Copies of this chain bind each other. A is one copy, B any other.
């Protein structure tokens, strides 16, 4: 077992100084042709690669991005990660992943752990518990320490940073309008509790679309699921709620659900109750994941383009990191010009499949 070789060892072996080796390897013309050749050959032979940690310490930057998300076994979030990783990799960054598990405390612990030098910046989506508590001090604290943050999807006005969001509102409007165009008269909404902003926005979009179409909203047609408990493992609860809902509103002929799972469950339940899809009831979901694609019938959904979100977020963050570099090098550290933050809105798109006409 031969440990990685260091500059010092090369230096000793070749009987030159460490500085000479370093310079030779970076092709500095301070070093003679001969010595450079010799050193580079030796380095290649022993497969020398500079130690990242040492570089990080010296340069005070790690070339690493911290991702902090609520959950990873989740089509949308993993797609975002994939997007982040793609551009991060291309631009020479690594990606370190922390999971908040929707918990406020874990979010804080994870942030602090990573903020102590491990990463140059964060890309994150806020946990439900944090949204509920509305306590965002940890975000502002890290920003104040000079660590930039990019938030995506679940964002919040109280924190000043770059943001990448899905146009949830218009996505919902589009979806519901489509149902109206397809002759649905009684369009139901299956949504989450209001504190998750995306749920709220999609609900607002639903209402807006109805109003635009001259349809009066009927609160009986809105089903709010309390997903404070883990729905994935409480399918039964979800399904029985939907059964109740459909039974007490037999006139429903269109359903807009704020996520894939609700939509697919609704289809399943509806079919068990004897409805034909899309003939009796048309369904549109949100989030274009595996379920939508492979459900029977396959589900028409509003696609969020998770990968694009990830890519944009990463570009935004890295741009800012490297802009800071440039600024630091300028001696007029344009100090108090409160830099303004960017909010990128990713447009949604309706993917038509079999659950609509």
A residues contacting B by CB (< 8 A) are 1-4, 49-54, 56-57, 62, 64, 72-75, 78-79, 81-82, 85, 89, 94-99, 110, 112-114, 116-118, 144-146, 235, 261, 264-265, 267-268, 271, 289-291, 293-296
Q: Max chain B CB contacts within 10 Å: which of A78, A290, A295? A: A290
Q: Are A146 and B3 in contact (CB under 8 A)?
A: yes
Q: Are B293 and A295 in contact (CB under 8 A)?
A: no
Contacts of A72 in B (CB 8 A): 78, 81-82, 85
A146 to B118, CA, bound (A): 22
A52 CB, min distance to chain B CBs, angstroms: 4
Q: Are A296 and B295 in contact (CB under 8 A)?
A: yes
A54 to B62, CA, bound (A): 12
A293 touches which one: B51, B114, B235, B289 (CB < 8 A)?
A: B235
A294 touches which one: B2, B85, B295 (CB < 8 A)?
A: B295
Q: Max chain B CB contacts within 10 Å: which of A52, A146, A261? A: A52
Q: Are A73 and B64 in contact (CB under 8 A)?
A: no
12 contacts between A and B (CB under 8 A): A1-B144, A49-B112, A51-B116, A53-B118, A54-B117, A57-B57, A64-B96, A72-B81, A81-B97, A89-B110, A96-B96, A264-B294
A54 to B117, CA, bound (A): 8
A147 to B51, CA, bound (A): 14
Q: Are B114 and A94 in contact (CB under 8 A)?
A: yes
**Contact A99 B82, CB 8 Å, known A53-B57, A144-B2, A291-B294:** yes
**Contact A54 B51, CB 8 Å, known A94-B96, A261-B294:** no
Contacts of A74 in B (CB 8 A): 78
Contacts of A235 in B (CB 8 A): 293
A97 touches which one: B50, B85, B268, B295 (CB < 8 A)?
A: B85
A272 to B89, CA, bound (A): 43
A46 to B146, CA, bound (A): 15
A260 CB, min distance to chain B CBs, angstroms: 9
Q: Are A4 and B116 in contact (CB under 8 A)?
A: yes
A296 touches which one: B51, B110, B271 (CB < 8 A)?
A: B271
Contacts of A99 in B (CB 8 A): 82, 85, 89
A53 to B96, CA, bound (A): 14
A45 CB, min distance to chain B CBs, angstroms: 14
A129 CB, min distance to chain B CBs, angstroms: 17
Contacts of A53 in B (CB 8 A): 53, 56-57, 62, 117-118
Q: Max chain B CB contacts within 10 Å: which of A74, A81, A118? A: A118
A245 to B26, CA, bound (A): 60
A72 to B99, CA, bound (A): 15
**Contact A117 B294, CB 8 Å, known A75-B73, A145-B1:** no
Contacts of A296 in B (CB 8 A): 267-268, 271, 295-296
